[in-house]
Amino acid sequence: MPAVFVASLYGESGTAKLLIMSQVALRLQLPFAVVPLVTFTSDKTKMGKFVDPGWLKAAVWIISGVIIGLNIKLLSGFL
């Protein structure tokens, strides 16, 4: 319903802005999903023999750091 409301009220430019804002919101929420997932899959007591190998842990933590860093850069651009 919000998309229909925005489209009828503001037209095509409003829906484009709504789409961009929804992507920003999803981007800011991504670390809150990734960090617990990486922590969980890296824990030997929880995962047992399915625990991530060391190289994968390092790669995923680096990628998570990049995501968090980009989010900080995005937020600092707004402030």
25-34 per-position pLDDT tens digit: 888 899 999 9
Rg over CA atoms, the chain: 18
Domain, as residue range, for 6? 2-78
Tell me if the pTM is above 0.85.
Answer: no
In whole angstroms, what is the distance from residue 10 CA to residue 58 CA?
A: 46
- Provide the number of structural domains found in the chain: 1
pLDDT of residue 1: 65
Rounded-to-5 percentages of helix, strand, coil across the chain: 90, 0, 10
pLDDT of residue 34: 93
Task: Report the 10 Å Cβ neighbour count for 74.
Answer: 12
Q: How far apart are CA 8 and CA 38, in angstroms?
A: 42
